[in-house]
Structure 1
Amino acid sequence: MTKTIRYALLASTLLSGAAWAEDVTLTIESWRNDDLAIWQEKIIPAFEAANPGIKVVFAPSAPAEYNAVLNSKLDAGSAGDLVTCRPFDASLELFNKGKLADLSDMAAMANFSDVAKSAWQTDDATKTFCVPMASVIHGFIYNRAIFDELGLTPPKTEAEFFAALEKIKANGTYIPMAMGTNDQWEAATMGYQNIGPNYWKGEEGRKALIAGTSSLTDEAWVAPFRQLAKWKDYLGDGFEAQTYPDSQNLFTLGRAAIYPTGSWEIGVFGPQIGGAFEMGAFPPPVAADGDKCYISDHTDIAMGMNAATKHPEQTKKFLEWVGSSEFATLYANALPGFFSLNSAAVEMADPLAKEFVSWRETCEPTIRSTYQILSRGTPNLENETWNASANVIKGTETPEDAAKRLQDGLASWYEPQKK
């Protein structure tokens, strides 16, 4: 073998070794185990096709176990490179502990509004540690076939809303609304936080509560409880023992006319209902014609970088892509009901998803009132609101008593609310 050939072979070997060394595998931690097929079949292939040499593995945990599993992995140094971020305090705590990297300087951050980034920022908004992915919008899904049969149209005001419920109840064939109080969380999430923003004026009221310039015993915060108290007559027999899956089944089987909910159900209900009936949606009705409307457009999911990743450059490349309009369109259509937080316009195919997101054009968006800052102490305002909402609907606690209990609990540990 000549010297020239030996050098050529050596050079070839070194080059192939260098190329091999560039190939890295990034692992995504997530609680969305129901999304596994979508990531494997649609999202990851799109990134890998445009980024040869970077492989991505989606490795979710069970939703209820995610926080504990992730914390354990991060402490042990075995967590993935990419961390799917829950909104507000859970992720903020990870950042404050040095587990999530500061992503403030990423170019993709320019594609998101301050509201979109607020769920994954420090309290002073100087540092952002996760790239926003999607929000969910609250409202009411209804069975178009039942509405057509009973001559109903989607209500725009509270008076129209209760008139529709009364007409469905009087007919006697269908449950007016499918929601139970057994699991408690849905009474707050799909009840109080759904209709509440129209009373406390969205971000204006939420920020006033954080600042301590308003309290939970103010009329704007008691009034939604008063509406919830009226729901009792329209939830059907035995709603007190009805679980979340029970309510889902009542609606998808065509036994209930209206389902107070969030857009996350779109992808769940569609396959279950098939062609049995068509779904429609309407936003929380306002008090009177001409009133400004507010919707809970809740920041739900984002993605950050494990501060201890061995592949920071490739991880940031993936996160820049997550912040792109290409990802926004891909994700929003793969998961109808999870709406892009990217400032770029996203065209969606699902008609029900289009209906929900169209409310952004006429209603002011806000997030759930308990999620930022106000649930850091004990008693936990988020969990207490679950219980209070369920009690008010059942009639075991008055709206005024529920509001006072929540306010007393918040004021016991939150300095701006101490009077």
Structure 2
Amino acid sequence: MPRNHFRSTILGSTTLAIGLILSSAAFAEDVTLTIESWRNDDLPIWQEKIIPAFEKANPGIKVVFSPTAPTEYNAALNTKLDAGTAGDLITCRPFDASLELFKKGHLTSVNDVAGMDTFNAVAKSAWSTDDGATTFCVPMASVIHGFIYNKDAFAKVGVDVPKTEEEFFAALEKIKKEGSYVPMAMGTADQWEAATMGYQNIGPNYWHGEDGRKALIAGKEKLTDADWVAPYQTLARWADYLGDGYKAQTYPDSQNMFALGRAAIYPAGSWDISVFNTQAEFKMGAFYPPVKKEGDTCYISDHADIAMGANAKSAHPEETKKFLAWLTSADFADIYANSLPGFFSLSNHEVKLQDPLAQEFVNWRGTCKTTIRSTYQILSRGTPNLENETWGASANVINGSETPEAAAKRLQDGLDSWYKPAP
């Protein structure tokens, strides 16, 4: 064989080998992370906006969003985790379901994830141990409660946005007497609506948000105390303004009533914004729960809703941590909040929202103190379940089948039957 031919053969083989090595190295760097989630309605947003933004900032890491139907998520996720087949990233529901995953060793601590200092203690409370020492999921978004109103209806009837309860009930009465609109679109058939958009919406103004919520957990306050009974007394007054047939009215019925322009006010969760944006043909505004009297501090339920954690058995822990760190960034906060109006970043980044109604809701953070739903942390772990019992109590009080005092006593008796505050 000629020397030059031999040399070229050697060089060719060497070049090929080096190419294969480099190719293998490049291939080895391409890691694919899989996200488990119940938000199957968000799939296009993750595929078209969130994931491309992360992959652009983190070359070599690919992400796949793999949701399960919401009603099947908890069971399916637990099965996968037990079998060792779950994805690298776990979308976390608030409080006990995710806490249990952490206790079982399925989720890792995220205390050392870069950017966790952008979240305050309230934001992290839904995904932290009871003592607050360890956080196991990165907070993503919250939902805020308040009232959405039909601006055209307010203008026609001649009522202003109420700031106090007296003004609120005066507006309801004026709308009722004018007769063109049902004053408020809410029913009691589904029960949870009465509790979530009723009791938990207005209640923080009475029990003073986090102060009252924590005092209830500590056993320093009880549901039979005046500040906890009073919201039920106010709810009982709502019955006169909910329109005929409200006892048989479901949550979708309430949404339709407001979206069609038949009601002036809608006790809201901010997740309803997207629904009404596509259905309502009138201008909308929002106001936070009116305070008891002028000058009182206002409180809003800014309830932690969704977060993300790391599967302890992920084959790619470093890449998973990079993704979690990116979730703490201003870029993610902006994309998520603007892609899903009504789901608000829990970080301290300033996010300019493109949706004006969503911006109204989030502006309340600068005016009112924030809290989370009173029944969600610790107090609904036993039987009877306080959260579910609050649904029935709220509906009963509005329906007039149970007095506020009797409802509060029943709930406290149920809580006392299994819950003993930590000494």
1:286 match: 291
Q: CA deviation at 1:77?
A: 1.6
**Greater gyration radius:** 2
Map 1:199-278 to 2 at 5 A: 199-273=206-280, 276-278=281-283
Equivalent residue for 1:376, pick from 381, 385, 391 = 381
1:117 match: 124
Q: CA deviation at 1:324?
A: 0.8
Contact 1:215 1:417 in 2 (8 A): no
> Counterparts of 1:96 and 1:51 in 2: how far apart (Å)?
31
2:45 match: 38
Query: Please, which runs of 5 or more residues in structure 1 have no aligned partner?
Result: none
Give aligned-pair identity as a percent. Answer: 72
> Counterparts of 2:189 and 2:52 in 1: how far apart (Å)?
41
Q: CA deviation at 1:103?
A: 1.1
Letter in 2 for 1:402: A
Distance 1:175 1:417, change over 3 A: farther
Contact 1:108 1:323 in 2 (8 A): yes
> Counterparts of 2:25 and 2:51 in 1: how far apart (Å)?
24
SS of structure 2 residue aligned to 1:216:
coil
Letter in 2 for 1:400: E
State whether structure 2 residue 180 is matched by structure 1 residue 170.
no
SS of structure 2 residue aligned to 1:260:
strand
Deviation string, structure 1 residues 91-123 (Cα, Å, up to 9, x no partner): 100000001111111122111111111111111
2:363 match: 358
> Counterparts of 1:60 and 1:144 in 2: how far apart (Å)?
38
Letter in 1 for 2:295: G
For the aligned residue pairs, the C-alpha RMSD in angstroms reads 1.2
Question: What is the count of residue pairs matched by the alignment?
Answer: 416
SS of structure 2 residue aligned to 1:2:
helix
Q: CA deviation at 1:62?
A: 1.7
Q: CA deviation at 1:4?
A: 2.0
State whether structure 2 residue 283 is matched by structure 1 residue 317.
no
> Counterparts of 1:18 and 1:113 in 2: how far apart (Å)?
41
1:21 match: 28
1:391 match: 396
> Counterparts of 1:89 and 1:331 in 2: how far apart (Å)?
24
SS of structure 1 residue aligned to 2:227:
helix
Letter in 2 for 1:59: S
- Runs of 4 or more consecutive aligned structure 1 residues displaced over 6 Å after TM superposition: none
Letter in 1 for 2:296: D
Q: CA deviation at 1:416?
A: 2.3
State whether structure 2 residue 148 is matched by structure 1 residue 148.
no
1:138 match: 145
Contact 1:157 1:285 in 2 (8 A): yes
> Counterparts of 2:12 and 2:40 in 1: how far apart (Å)?
53
Contact 1:140 1:283 in 2 (8 A): yes
Query: Please, which runs of 5 or more residues in structure 2 have no aligned partner?
Result: 1-7
> Counterparts of 1:198 and 1:272 in 2: how far apart (Å)?
31
Letter in 1 for 2:366: E
Q: CA deviation at 1:417?
A: 9.3
TM-score normalised according to structure 1 size: 0.97
Contact 1:180 1:240 in 2 (8 A): yes
Contact 1:104 1:129 in 2 (8 A): yes
Deviation string, structure 1 residues 31-76 (Cα, Å, up to 9, x no partner): 1122111111111111112222211111112222221121111112
Contact 1:109 1:323 in 2 (8 A): yes
SS of structure 2 residue aligned to 1:258:
strand
Deviation string, structure 1 residues 338-383 (Cα, Å, up to 9, x no partner): 1111112111111111111111111110000001111111110000
TM-score normalised according to structure 2 size: 0.96
